[in-house]
Structure 1
Amino acid sequence: MKQIDIGCGPKKAENHFGVDLFQFPGVDLVFDFDAGAWPIEDSSFDSARSIHVIEHISDTKNFFKEIHRICKDGAEVYIETPHFSWVDSWSDPTHRWHFSAGWYGPLQKGEYLGAIVGHFEHVKTVIEFNKSVRSWYPRLIVKLFGIETYERYYAFRYPARNIHTWLRVRK
């Protein structure tokens, strides 16, 4: 199984092909994700992961178009990004975007970005909360009423840390 770690930084996942903007130790390929087509062959990977990268990308449309292109049909794509309600989403001056848990919606079949970049099927999304005792309440809200209700009415009162999303490439 061939796997890629997109924006791996100095902590490349084990048994992954690591790509990054900077030449950290262990990075296999250095290039700018915003520079157009990536220097990687079509349908090369069975899975992809990108942890805390999409919030830095200027052209997210091209980012997902290239992920779709370099992954095989059925490849699982894992994306992790800060939740818009968490201070870390706003405290890094290099963050260009702030995401909600439903950020992947436009990439699905029948949606406008899916038609442009390629289709991604949503597998699941989990929002991660702080480990404090206070986080039991937003967890309960999500469990009883769903992520959308939590984000609409409670997110800034009870911030979530990260969004974990799994997608599947469909060609």
Structure 2
Amino acid sequence: MKVLDVGCGDAKVEGAIGMDIAPLPGVDVVHDLSKFPWPFEENSFDKIYLLNIIEHLNSPIKVMEEVHRLLKKGGEVHIEVVYWNHRHSVSDPQHVTFYNETTWDFFLGKRKTYYTSAVFEMVKLEFIYDKIAKIVFLYQKWLMNLASYFLCNVKQGMIVTLRK
């Protein structure tokens, strides 16, 4: 299985090819992620990881199109991203884009399909809940989901898996 870890930093997924703009330990390919195409052949990866990186990139549509280009048919992209109304989303001045559960509809062919050809199938969407919210709401996910629409800092992030 061929795996790519995009924006791996110094914490590359084990067994993956690590790509980052910085020549850190573990980075195999130094490349500016805002420059397309990325230096790989079409249909060359079974799995691609975007772990806490997509929110740092200016062109998420181009990023997802590039991921789509690089994935083999049936390949999956695993994304972890901070939730739009959590304090971590705005506390890092490097975050330039923001995400919630409806963001992914764009890449599922549910909205504005004329803007991109990168259409995926949703495999998984789950939330990472803030530790304090877990204590306050006593692990009642339905209550945390309801509260997250009205309160900040309940949903800390999302784990999304999409399949080509």
Q: Normalised by the size of structure 2, how large is the TM-score?
A: 0.89
User: Are the structure 2 counterparts of residues 136 and 102 from structure 1 closer, same or farther at C-alpha, using a change threshold of 3 Å?
Assistant: farther
Q: Which residue number in structure 1 is paired with residue 102 of structure 2?
A: 102
Count residues in correspondence: 162
Segments of structure 2 that go 5 or more residues without pairing to the other structure are none
Question: 2:143 aligns to what?
Answer: 141
What is the rounded CA distance, in whole Å, between the counterparts of 2:39 and 2:4 in structure 1? 13
Other-structure match for 1:66: 66
Task: Name the residue aligned to 2:124.
Answer: 124
Q: Counterpart of 1:164? A: 159
Q: 1:80 offset after TM fit, Å? A: 0.5
Please tell me whether the aligned partners of residues 147 and 154 of structure 2 are also in contact (alpha carbons under 8 angstroms): no
CA-atom RMSD, angstroms? 1.9
Percent identity for Structure 1 against Structure 2: 29
User: Quick one: which amino acid aligns to residue 166 of structure 1?
Assistant: T
The TM-score with structure 1 as length reference comes to 0.86
Counterpart residue type for residue 128 of structure 1:
I
Does the alignment pair 1:36 with 2:32? no
- Residue 57 of structure 1 aligns with which residue? 57
Unpaired segments of 5 or more residues in structure 1? none
Cα distance, 1:159 vs. partner?
Answer: 1.9
Match of 2:48 in 1: 48
Alignment partners' CA distance in 1, 2:137 and 2:114: 34
Q: SS of the residue aligned with 1:49?
A: strand
> Cα offset for 1:39?
1.0
Query: How far apart are 1:115 and its partner, in Å?
Result: 6.0
Question: CA distance change for structure 1 residues 138 and 117 in 2, over 3 Å: closer, same or farther?
Answer: farther
Task: Give the partner amino acid of 2:57.
Answer: I
